[in-house]
A and B are shown apart, each in its own frame.
Chain A
Amino acid sequence: MIWKNLGWNVLLPPVLTVVVALFAWEVIVRVMDVQTWLLPPPSMIFKELVDSFSLLSKHAGTTLAEMVVGFAVSVALGVTLAAGIASFRTVERSLYPLIIASQTIPIFTLAPLLIIWVGTDIMSKVIVIVLFTFFPIVISVVTGLRQVEGEMVDMFRTLGANQRQILIKLLIPTALPNVFAGMKVAAVISVIGAVIGEWVGASSGLGYLMKLSGPQFLTARVFAAIVFLSVMAMGFFAVVALAERYVLRNHPSSQRSKGMLGEL
């Protein structure tokens, strides 16, 4: 039953939509005789995916490395900042408004500066990814930490807990579901940060490949790269979601059934 609900009922409609859309795309391109450099049909994009698989994979490796490193830095930075904001009034007052304000700066415009400052290697992409992804992490972790009830903190204090113990044994576990929520958002948008970083200045990566292929009218290759990026983002999301499921397997937020063991 559950499988059926999660499986066909959920998966079938979007899959069907995609199949129908691809078919329509293919038909329209062929019937209207659209130039393939303008809009290649799905079959051609698929052929490009197969033919250039090794080239795409090589560049995907670069992008993936940037995503993973950027994501890791972002999680570490985001959680630390959130912990500081939730624990100390001074930190909250001096940093939280600035963190929110920082999101009004179009990060895309910072990428050229970063290339000038730190060069075209992985570092500049990591910084762009961090700029993109730390915000959702900070916001959701701060929200999670603020869910901790005062009574719980009092209970810990009467048991003789110090600040560090309250943080590690109460605040962080309480906020974990929110940490994962932020991480899932960050995982998906890390791909945007990587491509933007590569677009501005790089020597490899899918963003670099797209930037190179566009002016040469290798439109099918651009599409193939987009397919790769999309799959990578979904895969990254899936990895984080699986980690969440494992880490929170005993967390009350993931409880599946309320069992009663007798009356007392």
Chain B
Amino acid sequence: MSDISEPRKSTAEHPAVLGLAGIGFGYDRDQVLNDVSLQVGPGEFVTVLGPSGCGKSTLLKLIAGVVEPTEGQLSLRHTPADERLGNISLMQQRDLLLGWRTVAENAGLGLELSGVDPYEILGQVKRIAEAFGLADVLERYPWELSGGMRQRVALMRTLLIDSELVLLDEPFGALDAITRSTLQLWLLDVVDQQDKSFLMVSHDIDEALLMSDRIVVMAPNPGRVIEQVIVPRISEKSHEALFEPEILDLKRRILSLLANKEQVA
């Protein structure tokens, strides 16, 4: 386990968990991503923020290994880049639960695929089910659950596999606003207990400010990084903290960045 007292310091002295250098994706006119460079440090929570269509989801698929970049270098701390499938967790926007499996069977899917013994899987699932608020529904089927619960099952499946980097693709994008804000705070708690780095994509500035240590702002056509900002450490992460002057200033700055680029595009 890493040092939990200071879990999210972006550090220069540690090698990055993930490094992207000049990543591009697309062909000729259909350039989806252009020259994307960013790093995610150990224990860091980074959010890639940008409007729809700026290639955020594609970026995560590239990092996860589902598709390969057409340009640039991708490096991981402990895994060769060509072995990243199965070693990086990716949670997509939709929960993608298998309807014929119970909550426990869905959550343990990653472990099952890597050949872990069924009893061991059930043990691991039960151990963390309480923290996910799913202890009472492990034998239920996805169609019996609400959207927020399904999303937590998907996150449980994502976090149960042994990886040091977790990619989140608008994890709460499909939920209503109230459920979303509850789950954001809950996810912060879960993140604090994990010895993992997180890279989330979002188009929600408040979500990015609330969750992240650092925000990478992207613009579309083609998707590219226009700015990286460090989110000041706020004493207690909560939605009230979003009204602190420092955070409001930052929000204003990000909004103007996005607005300027919108006009250009």
Contacts and interface: CB of A to CB of B under 8 A. Distances in A.
Given A261-B140, A264-B179, A157 B66 contact: yes
Contact of B85 (A160, A250, A251): A160
Given A169-B113, A251-B100, A261-B137, A158 B66 contact: yes
A150 to B, nearest CB: 9
A7 interface: no
Contacts of B182: 264
B134 to A, nearest CB: 10
B94 A151 contact: yes
Contacts of B99: 251-253, 255
B143 A158 contact: no
Contacts of B142: 252
Given A263-B179, A264-B182, A156 B149 contact: no
A261 B148 contact: no
Given A169-B113, A252-B99, A252-B100, A258 B143 contact: yes
B145 A261 contact: yes
Interface string B143-187: 111101100100001000100000000000000000100110000
Nearest to B96: A155
Given A151-B94, A250-B100, A264-B149, A156 B144 contact: no
Contacts of A252: 99-100, 141-143
Given A152-B96, A250-B100, A264-B133, A159 B110 contact: yes
Given A156-B113, A159-B86, A159-B161, A151 B92 contact: yes
Interface residues of A, number: 28
Contacts of B110: 159-160
A260 interface: yes
A50 interface: no
B217 interface: no
A123 B260 CA distance: 76
A188 to B, nearest CB: 26
Nearest to A176: B100
A259 B144 contact: yes
Nearest to A253: B99
Q: Which of A152, A158, A173 has the most CB of B within 10 A?
A: A158
B15 to A, nearest CB: 23
Interface of A: 151-152, 154-161, 165, 169-170, 173, 176, 248, 250-253, 255, 258-264
13 contacts: A154-B92, A156-B113, A157-B65, A157-B66, A157-B85, A158-B85, A159-B113, A159-B114, A160-B114, A169-B109, A173-B100, A263-B148, A264-B152
